[in-house]
Amino acid sequence: MTAQFVADVGGTNIRLAQVVNGQITQVKKYLCNDYATIADAIRAYTQSFSALKFTAGCIAIACPVDKDLIKMTNHNWQFSKSALKAELALDCLEVINDYTAIAMSLPVLTDEQKVQIGGGQVQAGQNIAVFGPGTGLGVGHLTAIESGWQCLDGEGGHVDFAPIDELDLVIWRFLNKKYQHASAEEVLSGRGLVQVYQALAEHAGQAATLSEPADITHKALSGECPLCLATLQQFCRIMGSFGGNLALNLATFGGVYIAGGIVPRFVEFLRDSEFRQRFEAKGRFKDYVAAIPTFVITEPDHGLIGTAAYLTQHFKG
């Protein structure tokens, strides 16, 4: 019996699954460091299903994928797409960027795999945006095409940080002094959260004693640190402004989604924050943006789900 696999590859782990009727099943996780090559890791998975012959696969990976030679940014694996396809005896092998996978998951996520923040309603077949504060700031857009969906690539996380209020200006000045430039990623990421904390501490004449985003988030949510609370509140405001800009860029009436490993840890805090007010604060276009819904992705396997959606759309074997 033939089968298809998908892989979601990060610097630490590789997650693999089978694709059956467009759905993922048999999800397994392996440590990248346990295998000399990506082929070894994939074979560890496929050979555990001895009754199946894997004929197609799709790999989502956090690095550039436009050339045949793939070199991981945060791990020592590298491989040729054509050579890997031959080595694994596949009829089809697709290699896509991790944010393409995340974007492709959005149209197929269920209500149980996401949480809506604020108003608005999804309009079927309309453009979609996603951004994800994590190690960096990933950004993607989806647009409908005749055969399904097309992901629009770009480097939206590196656009200029656009201050809206006085505290934003405090953060902008801090970053501009430090880097001679203030990008959105230097605010909306793990290190960005720390830098917001440092900027507000300096402005208040306080010592910035914390250096880990998880510690800042924890102390904000527990209420034990007013500076951490102010940091997380401002982080949410800035996310709202940034998300609203993405909505305007491509008329994303299919929704704006938040991915990444940071925000799912404080969904209720986000819901109670000024995120949505800042999302809609677009002057004459307030009513326009207010109709666009915003969501936090809570499904941990959305990368694999999107990789499966991409493979299903592109491989008809």
List the binding residues for ATP. Answer: 7-12
Measured CA to CA in angstroms, residue 292 lies from 169, 218, 235, 244 at distances of 27, 30, 21, 9
Residue 185 dihedral angles phi and psi, to the nearest 5°: -65, -30
- Compute the distance between CA of residue 72 and CA of residue 160 in angstroms, rounded to an integer: 27
Feature table: binding site: 7-12
- Provide DSSP, 278-289: HHH--GGGHHHH
Non-local (6+) Cβ contacts of 298 within 8 A are 113, 114, 115, 264, 267
Q: What is the DSSP letter of 170?
A: H
Residue reference for tokens 């929704």? 255
Name the token pair of 254: 């299919």
Helices (H), 47-165: 81-87, 98-105
Non-local (6+) Cβ contacts of 185 within 8 A are 136, 137, 157, 158, 192
